[in-house]
Amino acid sequence: MTNPISINEVPVNPEIIQDEYLIYKKPSTLTDKPFHYCPGCGHSTVHKLLMELVEEIGIQSDIIGVAPVGCSVFAYDYMDIDMQEAAHGRALAVATGVRRMLPDKYVFTYQGDGDLAAIGTAETIHAANRGENILCIFINNGVYGMTSGQMAPTTLAGMVSTTSPFGRDVKTQGYPLKIGELLSLLPGVAYVTRQSVHTPTNVRKTKKALKQALEYQKQGLGFCMVEVVSNCPSNWKMTPLESLKFVEEKMIPFYPLGDLKVPGGK
Amino acid sequence: MAKAFGEIIIDIDKCKGCELCIDSCPQNTLALAPKINQKGYHYAIKVQDNCTGCLNCALVCPEGIINVYRKIVK
Amino acid sequence: MGELKLMKGNEALAEALIRSGCDGYFGYPITPQSEVIEYLSREATARTGMVVLQAESEVASINMIYGAAATGRRVATTSSSPGISLMQEGISYIAGAELPCLVVNVVRGGPGLGTIQPSQADYFQATKGGGHGDYHLLVLAPYNVQEMVDFVKLGFELGEKYRNPVMILADGAMGQMMEKVELFEQQTRKTSFADWATNGKPKDKERRIITSLFIEPERMEQVNLNLQAKYKAMQENEVRYQTMNTDDAEYILTGFGLGSRIAMKVMELAREKGIKVGLIRPQTVYPFPYQVYKDIAPKVKGILDIEMNAGQMVEDVRLAVGDKTRVEFYGRMGGIIAEPDEVFNYFEKVFLGDK
Ligand SMILES: Cc1ncc(C[n+]2csc(CCOP(=O)(O)OP(=O)(O)O)c2C)c(N)n1
Ligand code: SF4
Ligand code: SF4
Ligand code: SF4
């Protein structure tokens, strides 16, 4: 790790700091409120990507988001679009209500693994099975973040959490649930992909997947899920960089990245 | 051959010192500052004048607080 | 004069939903009210474009209502007791987020799976909360098929006026009985929506957020105070009840819905025998018409409350009259509907003594 004590700042070159050379800045569709998420948390990165797309595609007035209970329940503080909070697990039922009333708008949910794959499994499977034309963004961090690190359905075998303090014992606590694979079997589901945001390349791919899903929604193809294998440095009790390493070395081997289902395809 | 000159501006008061940008920079342009910001975090700063404007740091920065400039000189 | 028709309560209610310009219905079948979703599935979409969706559970249907109501549309769900229990989480969120909608409970006997026969045992659940938090539904209690129709229209209007969920507290008998009803004209569906509705952020305007979450205690308390102010306004403006023969009454019979129907028969029996009996029938059970009981209490010798439960509304009646008059209760449970004769006998026994 870099030692912060021995470093000097280098002045910027004003010749390059010109509007014409600007290639990245935070999208205007994010509010000025600083994220409350912990340092290095993938939630922030995914919020950012989604709002970049809303700005780029120009759909700020045409999109409604649903964020249920979980660390991201405050998503509406940051995303400058019409939003609804939902009860824990109920996002896809709530979004179904929105979708059925507003057939011409974009509708998405933004859910954690406890929300989507434990308490809300029924709502998830049935919304998917009805082929609701909704984008479901699923943040898989293998843990209950908001309530301080209890086991989630996605917690890896042997992984320590506050309710699996000796490591998840699959014999008594069940197996980690691959909800993406499960949903990809349903005919109402158009697109399921699993991505991550732990490297710049993966960030680009996640953004591409989200864009693809919004495009499919516009075409009315049905239910799309973009799963993001993410981190929870605070509850994993790791530094942000250690948590990215854990994503790479432990999470992704069990939750392999890539498309699980594409329209008209496998 | 064209050469890319990059420059970044970090909104340091919103930085949480997560070091994701530092880790992702192929040029080792960035490091954590010895000082802390209003929030009490050591914040990311530029410590070398060799940025190419590759965007990596901005992509991974969860807070979205890095502006990147890039000038291509033929 | 609107169209007259002989209709079953559940179907009349479904017809009223269509005619009130309802935009969406989300429900899950349960006896004794499945005719509502069946009728709507046959009729609604072709006639008005109304969305009718059978959800995977009442948990889902009430949350679909949440999402749909949050777009400013007129939406409704119907169920019966066990299903309404399952909806309580969602109802609490709807109350917290202040979303207008209509929830119909065609009550059956409980607890647990209970019986599919009519009951009034969900009065506490409907009027005192049901879910978590300090909230109230505006609760309408129909006593005939006509009110099953009229309260749909009224319910939507009151819900939208107060941004509050409204419940129609019916029962299995009301849902299943056939009566002649006058139907109101078809209303057109709304084309403009409230400012708070999340329909997509308007350009150059603030985004809209539908939430019941307020982390700062001061803010949360203020939200609660605002809700209480709203409930107070309902108490002041929306109390509805019917009285019969109260002018010369020495005794009052009371009850809501089915109980009040029986009370009417008992009143007739009593009047035939020259006993001066009147009747009070709350149409809103929240807000409850405390004042009318309070006013009449000193003028009468007693009040008999009749309910198809173990005595629920009677607590509100007692709260209203205090010690100003005697309050007696007659109830049947388990899906049994009291016969007017047995109630009259009880009335004679407690108030007039054995003869
Ligand atoms: C009905 C209900 N049960 C339990 C909770 C407590 N609770 C809040 S968030 C949460 C888990 C959140 O985990 P996840 O969905 O994975 O999201 P994360 O916080 O990790 O992003 C739980 C159990 C609740 N709010 N409501
Ligand atoms: S608790 Fe975990 S998931 Fe929640 S904000 Fe912190 S790091 Fe992210
Ligand atoms: S733009 Fe690329 S080279 Fe420049 S600081 Fe960021 S990561 Fe390093
Ligand atoms: S990635 Fe962003 S928040 Fe993290 S250290 Fe770098 S600038 Fe700061």
The whole-number pLDDT of residue A5 equals 46
Is C213 part of the contact surface with chain A (CB cutoff 8 Å)? yes
Around Cβ C227, how many Cβ atoms within 10 Å? Answer: 18
**pLDDT of C184 higher than 80:** yes
Looking at the structure, tell me whether residues C62 and C185 fall in a common domain.
yes
DSSP C220: H
Distance of CA C319 to the CA centre of its chain: 20
- Which of A2-16, A99-113, C209-223 is predicted with the least confidence, judged by mean pLDDT? A2-16
Q: Does B26 touch chain A (CB under 8 A)?
A: no
CATH number at residue B26: 3.30.70.20
C325 and C184 in a common domain: no
Structure tokens at C321: 């009259």
User: With 90 as the cut, is the pLDDT of residue A70 above it?
Assistant: yes
Chain centroid to Cα C120, Å, comes to 11
Name the residue among A260, A184, A224 with its Cα closest to residue A95.
A224
Mean pLDDT within C56-61 = 98
Beta-carbon neighbour count of residue A170 at 10 Å? 12
**Cis peptide leading into C111, omega within 30 of 0?**
yes
Q: Is residue A192 part of a domain?
A: yes
Contact C174, C148 (CB under 8 A): yes
**Nearest-10 crossing angle of helices C9-19, C34-48:** 30
What is the rounded CA–CA span in Å between residue C190 and residue A101?
Answer: 12
Domain that holds residue B20: 3-73
Alpha helices for C23-106 (secondary structure H): 34-48, 58-69, 81-96
What pLDDT sits at residue A8?
Answer: 77
Evaluate if residue B1 carries a pLDDT over 80: no
Q: For all residues of chain A together, what is the average pLDDT?
A: 96
CA distance A230 to A195: 9
Residue A189 belongs to some domain of the structure:
yes
Angle between helices A121-129 and C58-69 (to 10 degrees): 70
Based on the structure, what is the number of domains in chain C?
2
Segment C113-118 shows an average pLDDT of 94
The whole-angstrom separation of Cα C185 and Cα C16 is: 9
Residue reference for tokens 């403006």: C237
Instruction: Respond yes or no on whether ipTM tops 0.90.
Output: yes
Place of tokens 């078809």: C186
A51-80 residues touching C, CB cutoff 8 A? 60-64, 66, 73-74, 76, 80
**Nearest chain A residue (CA) to C52:** A100
Residue A146 lies inside a defined structural domain of this protein: yes
Shortest alpha-carbon distance between residue A59 and chain C (Å): 9
* Contact assessment for residue A225 and residue A183, using Cβ atoms and an 8 Å cutoff: yes
- At C355 the pLDDT is 54
Q: pLDDT at position C353, please?
A: 87
> What kind and span of H or E run contains A241?
helix A240-246
CA of A146 to the centre of ligand 1 (A): 6
Q: In this model, does residue C344 exceed pLDDT 70?
A: yes
Is the predicted pLDDT of residue C134 greater than 90, yes or no? yes
Taking the C-alpha atoms of A131, A135, A136 and A139 in order, what is their torsion angle to the nearest 10 degrees?
Answer: 150
Q: What letter does residue A250 receive in the DSSP assignment?
A: I
Q: Indicate the angle between helix axes A200-218 and A42-57, nearest 10 degrees.
A: 50
Burial class (CB in 10 A: 0-12, 13-18, 19+), C306: buried
Domain count, chain B: 1
With respect to residue A238, please indicate whether it lies within any of the assigned structural domains. yes
pLDDT given for residue C129 in this prediction? 87
How far apart (Å, rounded) are the C-alpha atoms in residues C261 and C267? 10
pLDDT tens for A166-177 read 999 999 999 999
In the prediction, which pLDDT does A2 show? 46
* Same-domain check for residues C8 and C93: yes
Would residue A14 count as lying in a domain?
no
Peptide bond into C32 cis (omega under 30): yes
To test ligand 4's pocket by mutation, which of B23, B43, B51 has the most ligand atoms within 8 angstroms of CB?
Answer: B43
Kindly state the average pLDDT of the residues C8-16: 98
Same domain, C127 and C219: yes
Give the distance from CA A259 to its chain's centroid. Answer: 15
CA distance B11 to C319: 62
Segments forming the whole domain that contains residue C318: 242-352
Find the farthest-apart pair of alpha carbons in chain B and give their distance in angstroms, rounded.
44
Compute the C-alpha angle C160/A106/C100, nearest 5°: 10
CATH of the domain at C42: 3.40.50.970
Task: Enumerate the H helices of A89-232 as residue ranges.
Answer: 91-101, 113-114, 121-129, 170-173, 179-183, 200-218
**B25 within ligand 3 shell (Cβ under 6 A):** yes
Cis peptide, bond prior to residue C287, ω within 30 of zero: yes
Shortest CA gap A48–chain B (Å): 7
**What is the model's pLDDT at position A141?**
98
Instruction: For ligand 1, say whether the CB of A233 is within 6 Å of any of its atoms.
Output: no
Distance CA A224, CA B56 (A): 28
* Rounded Cα distance, A31 and A42, in Å: 18
- Same domain (yes/no): C79, C152: yes
Query: Phi, psi (5° rounding) for residue B61?
Result: -65, 115
Residues C139 and C271 in one domain: no
Task: Return the pLDDT at C354.
Answer: 59
Residues in chain B: 74
- The helix (run of H) or strand (run of E) holding residue C258 is helix C257-272
Nearest CB among B32, B45, B62 relative to A44 is that of B62
CATH number of domain containing C313:
3.40.50.920
Domain membership of residue A16 (yes or no) is no
User: C14 and C156: one domain?
Assistant: yes
Query: What mean pLDDT is predicted for residues A115-123?
Result: 98
Any A CB within 8 A of C70 CB = yes
CB atoms within 10 A of CB C265: 16
Q: Report the C-alpha gap between B12 and B5 in whole angstroms.
A: 22
How many whole angstroms separate alpha carbon A222 and alpha carbon C337?
A: 49
More confident residue, C170 or C353: C170
CA of B16 to the centre of ligand 2 (A): 13
Which residues, 6+ apart, have CB-to-CB distance to B35 below 8 Å? Answer: B42, B43
Domain-located, residue A34: no
Examine the domain organization and report whether C132 and C101 are in the same domain.
Answer: yes
Stated length of chain A:
266
Least Cα distance to C22 among C153, C184, C150 occurs for: C153
Q: Among all chains, which residue has been given the structure tokens 């009747």?
A: C279
Question: Is residue C171 within 8 Å of residue C258, measured between CB atoms?
Answer: yes
Average pLDDT of chain C, as a whole number: 97
Total length of chain C: 355
At C218, the pLDDT band (50, 70, 90 cuts) reads very high
- Indicate whether C289 and C212 sit together in one domain: no
Residue C105: closest CA among C159, C168, C59: C168
Measured from the Cβ of residue A19, the count of other Cβ atoms closer than 10 Å reads: 6
Q: In a 10 Å sphere around its CB, with 0-12 CB exposed, 13-18 middle and 19+ buried, how is residue C65 labelled?
A: buried
Cα dist from C197 to C14, C66, C162, C192, C242, whole Å: 25, 12, 14, 10, 36
Q: How far apart are CA C61 and CA C79, in angstroms?
A: 10
Q: Nearest bound ligand to CA B62?
A: 4
Residues C259 and C148 in one domain: no
pLDDT higher than threshold 70 for residue A263: yes
CATH code for the domain in which residue A142 is found = 3.40.50.970
What's residue A265's pLDDT? 74
* Number of separate domains in chain A: 1
Beta strands in chain A, from DSSP E residues, in sequence order = 22-24, 63-68, 82-86, 106-112, 135-140, 143-144, 150-151, 189-196, 223-229, 258-261
Query: For residue C320, how far is its CA from the centre of ligand 1 (angstroms)?
Result: 43
Predicted local distance difference test score (pLDDT) of residue A3 = 46
Are C178 and C145 spatial neighbours (Cβ–Cβ below 8 Å)? yes
- Assigned domain for A109 exists: yes
Give the structural domain span for A111. 39-265
Best to test chain B binding among A16, A72, A206, A207 (most B CBs inside 10 Å): A16
Q: pTM (2 decimals)? A: 0.97
